[in-house]
Every structure is written in structure tokens, then in C-alpha cells.
Structure 1
Amino acid sequence: MFYTQFLMQVLMSVTRNIRVLTRYSAWANLRLFDLLKTLPAAEVNAIRKTGFGSILNTLNHSYVVDLIWKAHLESKLHGFTSRITELVPTFPELCSAQTEIDVWYVNYADTLSEQMHDEAVAFNFVDGGSGIMTRGDMLLHVVNHKTYHRGYVADLLYQVGSRPPVMDFPVFLREDPPTL
């Protein structure tokens, strides 16, 4: 009896954690995009010494990767041959699209059962290689990937004389504690 109760608590905490993390990711993206809206468009689009060339391209890369992993989670083909698009959306278009995909990830995490969380899903990487990950690991990757690239953008903001918003997980928990 005790073991069953313990196991249920562990499993519930796993799905709770991924639900909290997808909410955190959406919250941090919203904070970052809200700050970027206050900058001149030239700063968001300016070519800089960074992996993706600009703030906008970095955020577009994160968005494309979100679409790729969404397709993997849905067991669909994503159609991308690169982790960036040739045509870069405008900042307002990207802001709207990112908000939409963030909502999708929150909703997806909310419907994820413990069994689905641990289900292994086969997929193909953009480079053609095959992979297999659990749905939970895919979601962790998506959250961590966006955190990583928000860090890129935060550094670029310092370079243009702007201060990035506070996007730390404990601040999220303090300012917008999830009720699950």
C-alpha cells in the first residue's frame, strides 16, 4: 500500500513538473517578447556576432525547433530541412506565433498522463538521423532549448544597452505560481 501511494506521488510530481516547466517557458518568453517590443525594430533585426546573426533570427530558430518537436510529439512530419527558416518572419508575426505554440505546449503538457510521459517516440532529426525519446524528455528538451536561447538574447540585449527582463524560475514561481 505504501509503495503504491509513493509511486503515485512520484508519477504525479513528474507530470506536475513538466506542466510547471511549460508554463514557466511561456511566461519567460512573454516577458522577453514584451521587452523586445519596446526596442527599435532595427535593434531586434540588426546583424550581430552571434550564432544566428540577430535577436530575431535567434528567436525564429527557437520557434522552428518548437514546431519540429511539436510534430515529433504528434508523430507527424514537420517538413523542415533546417532549424531556421530562409524567410524570417517579422517580429510581430514571430511574437504571435511563439505565443500560440507556447499555449500549445502548456495544453499538451496538461493532457499528458504518466503513461504518455514515459512513452518512447521514434522520430527523425532534421539532419536525417533517427532518434527515440520519451514524450517527457522531448518536453524537457523544448523547455531547456528555449531557456538556452533566451540566454543568447539576454546577452545581445546587454550589447545594445538594454537590460533583459528577469526570467528566473524562482521569480516565475513567486510572481505567477501555477495552480495545478
Structure 2
Amino acid sequence: MDPHSHFATLARYNAWATRRVLDAVATLPEADYRRDAGLFFKSIHGTLGHLLVGEHLLWFRRFAEGVSPRVALNDEVEPDRTRLAERLLEGAARWQPLIESWPAERFDGALDYTTMRGSAASLPFAATLAHVFNHGTHHRGQVTAVLTALGQPCPELDLVYMLQEETPT
């Protein structure tokens, strides 16, 4: 599989899974949505806010613009839950066109950026891009665990379900 196809699939999956998680949490009462559920970023809202910061305000800009903004990973940059959901979906939709714009040889290179501590870093480009999508999968899994603990229905998020939906019968 060529890198464009592989990472475009991951970008589609990221948007698909994000939409499914957001649909699942949309009907939660505010108290359940914001309660400290023992997650690293405490609540569902905190975890989704971290995804906005990490995926879109930090990593996307590193990949798309070559800049490393100074933002804390636990900053609440969007307190409104409806607007947070919109921004997550908008951000997820930006990855696939970006990936498709890169020449194939870009995936064999390095991503040079500045860490959160201000140090220069250089990591393998493709592996670091895979990290971004893996990171989102991890935190969406945390949200679904909270939904389960609350007795709420939980969406199926396995990649194969998206692939099955995309496959004509």
C-alpha cells in the first residue's frame, strides 16, 4: 500500500470515529459529560478538549505549517461542548486533503519540530503521523469506556466497521 492510501485511510477513520463518539456523547446530561471520570484529562469534555489541542492545534500545525505552537495539552480552548464537537469534526476533515497534498517521498523524511519543553526534535515523518491517529484512537477509547461505565450505548469504533461501510455490496 502506498503511503497516501494508507494515511488517507487513517484520516478517514479518524473523522469517522470522531463523529461516532461525538454522536454518542451528544445526548449525555451535562453533569455526566463534565464529571471527573478518572481519565487523564478528567472528564469526557476534558478528553475531547485534549484531542482538539493535540491533534488540531498542535500536531496539524506541525505537519501543515512547520510551526509548533505553545499550548498546554490540558488547556480548555473550547468550553462550549457544541462548538468543541464542531471544531473536532472540522479539524478531522482537514487531515485527508493535507495528506494527499504531500509528495510520496515526504513520508520517508523527518518531521522537525519544537517539543512542548522548547527543545528541537526530529522524528520519522510517517511514524509520527501514525502517532497522531493512534493517539486519537486511544482517547476515543477512554471516552467509550466512560460511556460504558455510565450505562450508555457505545459506538463500534473498529476500523473494519468503517471499511465495511465503505465497501459496496
Same fold (TM over 0.5): yes
Contact 1:69 1:138 (C-alpha < 8 Å) held by counterparts: no
Give structure 1 stretches of 5+ with no counterpart. Answer: 1-9
Q: Which residue of 2 aligns with 1:93?
A: 83
**Equivalent residue runs for 1:66-145 within 5 Å:** 66=55, 67-73=57-63, 74-80=65-71, 82-86=72-76, 88-145=78-135
Deviations 1:124-145 (A, max 9, x none): 1112233212332232111000
Q: How many residues align?
A: 166
Q: Quick one: distance in 1 between partners of 2:6 and 2:167?
A: 13
TM-score scaled by structure 1?
A: 0.85
Match of 2:18 among 22, 29, 45: 29
Deviating above 4 A after TM superposition, structure 1's stretches of 4 or more consecutive aligned residues are none
Matches within 5 A, 1:135-174: 135-174=125-164
Q: Look up the equivalent residue of 2:157 and give its one-letter code.
A: M
Maintained 8 Å contact 1:124/1:131: yes
CA distance in 2, matches of 1:140, 1:117: 11
Larger radius of gyration: 1
Let me know the Cα RMSD of the aligned residues: 1.7
Matched residues in 1 for 2:34 and 2:167: separation?
33
Identity among equivalent positions (%) equals 28
Q: Which residue identity lines up with residue 143 of structure 1 in the other structure?
A: F
